[in-house]
Amino acid sequence: MGQTPTRAPDEDARSRRGAAAAPRRWWRLPIGVQSLIAVGLGSLIGVLAPAAGEQLKILGDVFLNLVQVVVLPLVFPLIVLGIAQMESVKKVGRMAGKAILYFEVVTTVILLVAVTLAKVTGIGEGAKIDTGSPGDIDGLQKDVDFHELILHAVPKNIFAAFGEGNLLGAITFGLLVGVAMAAIGEKSAPFASVLESVSSVMFKVVGYVIRVAPLGVLGFISYDVAHYGFGNLRSLLGFIAVVYAGLAVVLGVIFPVIAAIYRIRYIELLKSIAGLVGLAFVTRSSEAVLAPVMAKLEDFGVSRSTTSFVVPLGYSFNTDGSVLYQAAALVFLSNAYGTDTSLAALLVMVGVLVVLSKGMAGVASASIVVLIAAGNTIGLPAEGIAILVGVDFIVDMARTAVNVVGNSLAAAVIDRSEIRREAKPARRTATLPAPAEHAESKA
């Protein structure tokens, strides 16, 4: 009687592992590839079954809720620890000053580029603005008040601020706590240990949330295609093209110049965050990638104290892609209504956006709120902005992705400036001969 051939134990183990891995192989695809697959499926559902596509929006909403519920519990301990680990309170103030100055200069340059590009191309001339319905923006029309922004940044109840998702208020309170911890030194060690544990847990939670991102992408794309369609885009193709061209100038010219000045490896930086930029593109939310972007920046070589401070601050004050969109949109509407687009009027437009764009939340379509406020400030009817709502999801994807790149570059720039500052005294000390060596040379 023949014997049944036997296999070695290690061969059996490999066979079992291969059989178990086969059904899960598609999960091993990069998150960006999974998201692209979700984009394709979502587009098909939106076109072929629009009713189902609109219902699938709940997947996107659930994903964003999962992201937003983690943001503040993660950002707060990172900011506090980042400040507490700095050598001195003076460094906190210096870094804050550098960051704010950088944000203001870069966003102003981008605004000037945007209005120039929009003015030269003449977008909006002859556009039919009466197709928009005021009802399309009823839920968005609200004023952006500078005094309210200040009060928003200094909440009277930190628990209420956390409940409202007030990122700017959490940053302010985190700064105060971090400065206090740095001031008392070793006494804050137990609290710092707790915050380290909280941040580690939140990073793990974010990892779980990111794994379901393709489902959120599927829901968003299905809804957008089903709800907005593609037929109403023809009259706005010029506007979309100008916005994308402007964003390409930002990514391909302005950012590389900044990176070259500070000797930052821009291409390597883009490669390190490319997957997360793609995820921000399809989800239209920079908050969705806040935590993993900070982790990638640390891998790139940016210090944790810098990323923990600059990146969350940039989410409110450094929305490069959004301000470009807003400037182009205001020129579009000014041309459509036939209002003044002289140099003086364009400079006023830039000044208004410099103020109103600060404190913008990192959630989908938040730019529309600021756009309405800016339009009201310079005399544009709010009803005209309704025409842009139908294509907002298209430009929102690109401007959100640019926001993520801009904040990543900002963190690298501030970190490099700090390294240069700390290196200067060391270089000066190295060039001075030691007293003994100096005496010996005289002998």
* Residue 81 near residue 192 (C-beta atoms within 8 A): yes
* Tokens, residue 120: 């030269």
- pLDDT at res. 256: 96
- pLDDT at res. 382: 61
The two counts, helices (H) then strands (E), for the chain are 20, 0
For residue 5, the 8-state DSSP code is: P
Question: Would the pLDDT of 296 be above 70?
Answer: yes
* Residue 89 near residue 179 (C-beta atoms within 8 A): yes
- pLDDT at res. 396: 82
Average pLDDT over residues 182-208: 87
Question: Would the pLDDT of 211 be above 60?
Answer: yes
Secondary structure of 347-397 in HEC code, one letter for each residue: HHHHHHHHHHCCCCCCCCCHHHHHHHHHHHHCCCCHHHHHHHHHHHHHHHH
| Cα distances (angstroms) measured from residue 118 to each of 27, 38, 63, 324, 370 | 43, 33, 35, 10, 19
Say which residues have a Cβ less than 8 Å from residue 324's Cβ, sequence separation at least 6: 110, 111, 113, 114, 243, 246, 247, 250, 399, 402
Mean pLDDT of the chain: 76
Question: Would the pLDDT of 132 be above 50?
Answer: no
**Count of beta carbons in the 10 Å neighbourhood of residue 87:** 10
- pLDDT at res. 252: 95
Amino acid making up residue 214: P
Name the least confident of 99-108, 133-142, 195-204, 382-391.
133-142
All structural domains of the chain: 30-420 (1.10.3860.10)
Per-residue model confidence as pLDDT tens digits over 51-109: 998 899 898 888 878 877 877 887 788 778 877 776 556 667 788 888 889 998 998 89
Average pLDDT over residues 367-395: 67
Say which residues have a Cβ less than 8 Å from residue 230's Cβ, sequence separation at least 6: none
* Residue 221 near residue 51 (C-beta atoms within 8 A): no
Q: Which of the two residues, 319 and 277, has the higher pLDDT score? A: 277
Q: How far apart are CA 127 and CA 129, in angstroms?
A: 6
